[in-house]
Amino acid sequence: MSFALVDYFEPWWIQIIKGIVLFAIGLQIVPLVLLAERKLLGRFQGRYGPNRVGPYGLIQPLADIVKLLGKEQSRPETSVGPLFIVAPVISIMTAVGTFAIIPFGDAPHIFGTRVGLYGVDVSIGPLYIFALSAISFYGLMLGGWASGSKYSFLGAMRAAAQLISYEVSQGLALVGVLITAGTLSLTQIVHAQEGMWYIVPQLAGFLIFMVAAFAETNRAPFDLAEADAELVGGYNTEYGGGRFASYYFAEYLNVVVVSGVATTLFLGGWLIPGWHGQPAWTDPFVVLFKMTLFISFFIWIRATLPRLRYDQLMSFGWKILLPLATLNTLATAIIVVAVHK
């Protein structure tokens, strides 16, 4: 059952249209997250946040992007031209590519055709996410290296070491979920949670996953790649204008994607406990609501916790998180095999 083929059932043109529609939704979510972060951070600090451009500052992200695009594009003479230009595009491509796997719902019939409310549903689910996030590492690394600036380079090295250190724990934290669900397809994992959300039996895995997610997305308290006090801006020090906008967009889209993955794997995706016969049109709203909870949590933590020191970050990842994740995996495996007998 587990590696059962995840069949596609849509004609190719529906696949392309739904790809474009979902991407457009993602393109709308990111400015909202940007605004929500600035608004909430403002409130946490007892001020208003952006409230001048449009009602409640709603048009602020649009003003920001226009401002960024109106800036002069410059790159230092020490930079390596082609890589400097390609790196932000790699970042944004991989972030958008990972967005494709978040399931916003099951596969209802729309106008008589069966359409899956997700970009892709592949038989390797989490591996697809890790493959793309491993490529996104090149976006940061090449960008920082090709800038030809000390600060960029140090930021890129830090980002690289941090990403790969926490990717191991993040991957291992998911193994518990996969054992419990017995499948790698994200929609089937959601269906397997119909009895109980995996946040209950896999609480340890959930906590490890969330901590690693903060490090993977370069969010506070793990935002050492761009520690402004020491490194000015990290890997994107030399970037400005449109290319900086690409990095910024990718960074926030990654937060959205991680929230979506956590929703799918631990909070039961589109399921509401105790509601059978849930109509299909509620699915995307439930998923978006749960994602909003996670995104708010990310912002809340940023306003609460101070930044770690770099050696603390690395030893926490390797000496605490990795053994814990391994233990969680083994414990889950033993329990599942013992119960299954």
Segment 3 to 22, residues that bind other proteins, using CB under 8 A: 3, 5-8, 12, 15-16, 18-20, 22
Q: Which stretch binds other proteins (CB under 8 A): 51-59, 76-84, 259-267, 275-283?
A: 76-84
Of 203, 293, 330, 331, which lies in the binding site for other proteins, with binding defined by CB under 8 A?
330
Of 57, 103, 105, 126, which lies in the binding site for other proteins, with binding defined by CB under 8 A?
126
Quick one: which of 302, 147, 310, 299 has its CA closest to 227? 310
**Closest distance between other proteins and the C-beta of residue 274, in Å?**
26
Number of residues that bind other proteins (CB under 8 A): 97
Residue 249 · residue 29 · CB < 8 Å = no
User: Is 138 a residue that touches other proteins (CB under 8 A)?
Assistant: no
Distance between start and end Cα atoms, the chain: 18
Q: Which is nearer to other proteins, 276 or 341 (CB)?
A: 341
DSSP state of 123: T
**Closest distance between other proteins and the C-beta of residue 50, in Å?**
21
User: Is 89 a residue that touches other proteins (CB under 8 A)?
Assistant: yes
Q: Which residues contact 32 (CB under 8 A, 6 or more apart)?
A: 61
According to DSSP, the residues that pair with 110 across neighbouring strands are 113
DSSP state of 114: E
Residues 205-264 that bind other proteins (CB under 8 A): 232, 237-238, 241-243, 245-246, 249
Of 62, 110, 164, 196, which lies in the binding site for other proteins, with binding defined by CB under 8 A?
164
Biggest distance spanned by C-alpha atoms of the chain = 67
**Closest distance between other proteins and the C-beta of residue 71, in Å?**
5
Residues 266-325 that bind other proteins (CB under 8 A): 310-311, 314-315, 318-319, 322-323
C-alpha neighbours within 13 Å on the C-beta side of residue 59? 7
- Dihedral of alpha carbons 316, 320, 323, 324, sign: negative
